[in-house]
């Protein structure tokens, strides 16, 4: 299966050039989002056939949401986002339960949610 999100797609979503010095980091973040999302998606349909999630727009959207949050967390000074009032943003687990809930909201109505969490 191809990647659910690529570095090029992430660069376009973030308004960044897909060129050095960003390209390697964008590819790493896209790969992280791809593998994170595969942990919570169903792998086979009701007939037992493998599911290619790359053809589902909702799965690609969820992967892009994960990638954007990973990118934001990597770029934040000290790993913590700063708000417009220069105070820390009160979302310490951007890649935790809040993001998992967002992903679930995107993919579950379409039957791709496997349940469980991102751990394991």
* Residue ranges of domains in the chain: 7-72+87-110
Could you give phi then psi for residue 41, rounded to 5 degrees?
A: -100, 150
Q: What is the pLDDT of residues 27-49, one digit of tens each?
A: 999 998 998 888 888 888 888 88
Structure tokens at 77: 């000074």
Q: How far apart are CA 28 and CA 22, in angstroms?
A: 10
CA-to-CA separations, 92 to 8, 76, 77, 89, in angstroms, rounded? 27, 12, 13, 8
DSSP percent split of the chain into helix, strand, coil, nearest 5: 55, 5, 40
Q: Tell me the average pLDDT of the chain.
A: 80
């Amino acid at each position: 299966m191809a990647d659910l999100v690529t570095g090029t797609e992430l660069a376009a979503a973030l308004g960044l050039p897909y060129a050095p010095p960003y390209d390697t980091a964008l590819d790493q973040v896209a790969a992280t989002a791809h593998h994170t999302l595969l942990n919570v998606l169903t792998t086979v349909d009701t007939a037992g056939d493998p599911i290619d999630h790359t053809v589902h727009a909702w799965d690609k959207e969820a992967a892009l949401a994960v990638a954007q949050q990973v990118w934001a967390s990597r770029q934040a000074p000290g790993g913590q986002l700063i708000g417009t009032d220069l105070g820390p943003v009160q979302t310490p687990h951007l890649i935790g339960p809040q993001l998992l809930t967002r992903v679930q909201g995107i993919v579950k109505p379409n039957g791709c949610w496997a349940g469980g969490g991102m751990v394991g």
